Amino acid sequence: MAGKEPEYGQTAETVAANITRLRTAQNLTYTDVSERVKSAGWSLTPVAVRRIENKQRKVSPDDLTSLAVALRVSPTTLLMPPHRTAGDDVEFTGGRAPAMHVWEWLRAESPYPLHRGSEDVNVSIARFQADNWPGWFLETERLLEEGRRARHIRAAFAWAEDEQAAGERAATDGDD
């Protein structure tokens, strides 16, 4: 239906507000943003940028990513609701939670909501990450964890050797 106002949920409101905040903080005009978007390989007119900010135009995934490039931020930054502290409750389409939990969810670090019921929280987080992280990243994380474990083991052996050497020195110091 032509001329119908777009439906705007909390996340669309957040994206519009974040675009305005970032554009203003960088002293960019609608035309500046439009030109940066064009340089990123997408097309948004200055009027389209203004309409997005005024909640008169919906943001497509392509708009979101090209605007993030234009504003030199991550798409996650555009999706993150405003907050002052990690514990502040923030609203988004689909829920309300402390800012830290929403940030972790947007970064694919932990599920939302984090169910603390039938399964171990660590298992829940591991499953979420396995479903969300690229395979190459999961492999990198596994190798890093193996490296951390190996360093801890080497450190434990070095400590034990130092303790043994100190004990031997103490035993020989008293044999004069």
Going from the C-alpha of 163 to that of each of 81, 167, 173, 176, the distances in angstroms are 53, 6, 15, 22
Q: What is the pLDDT of residues 44-86, one digit of tens each?
A: 999 999 999 999 999 999 999 999 999 999 999 999 999 999 9
Euclidean distance between CA atoms 128 and 80, whole angstroms: 20
Instruction: Tell me the pLDDT band of 120, cut-offs 50, 70 and 90.
Output: confident
Contacts for 122-126: CB closer than 8 Å, 24+ residues apart: none
pLDDT score at 147: 74
Sequence-distant (6+) residues with CB within 8 A of 63 are: 42, 44, 52
pLDDT score at 165: 77
Q: Would the pTM count as exceeding 0.85? A: no
Type of residue numbered 4: K
